[in-house]
Amino acid sequence: MAVLWSFRCYLSPDGTDEIRKAHDSEERQTRKKFHSRLKILAALPFEEWHNGVLYRELHGECFGLGEIKFKGDNVQQRPLGFRSSEYEFTILFWAHERGNKWVPLKACQRALERKAEVIANKDRTNALWLALE
């Protein structure tokens, strides 16, 4: 499959790739599912992301964000991010969903704060380290 999309990850002020840090703390099976989900999304036009299974645009307090959806280690994994250019998606925060609640509870707030930082300074991101081809 051809890769249409590139992904970027949020960098903390000290230069830590927060998405890689969260990824590396997950079990192997969850890491593999994340990689698989990104490979699928990378090959699809954005209109096809919106099927409710792979990805979902968020509303309410989370407006302006989208969630990459997959289950790993019996937990609903919800990396949050936004479309940062025509064929680029920036992942801001790795959240989970339990009982229709965010874990941590302030996941959207933190992701939106990070989004504002990234919009102000794209150097607060780096390219995804995983190969999607």
pLDDT in tens, 53-88: 899 999 999 999 999 999 998 999 999 999 999 999
Note whether residue 1 is domain-resident.
no
Q: What is the pTM of this model?
A: 0.96
CA dihedral 34, 39, 41, 44 (to 10 degrees): -170
CA pair distance 133, 36, nearest whole angstrom: 11
Query: Looking at residues 90-114, what average pLDDT do you find?
Result: 96
Mean pLDDT (the chain, rounded): 95
Note whether residue 2 is domain-resident.
no
pLDDT in tens, 8-32: 999 999 999 999 999 999 999 999 9
Note whether residue 69 is domain-resident.
yes
Note whether residue 35 is domain-resident.
yes
Note whether residue 11 is domain-resident.
no
**For the chain, what is the domain count?**
1
Note whether residue 107 is domain-resident.
yes
CA pair distance 94, 18, nearest whole angstrom: 8
Note whether residue 120 is domain-resident.
yes
Residue 1 has pLDDT above 70, yes or no: no
* Predicted local distance difference test score (pLDDT) of residue 23: 97
* Owning domain of residue 32: 16-126
Note whether residue 9 is domain-resident.
no
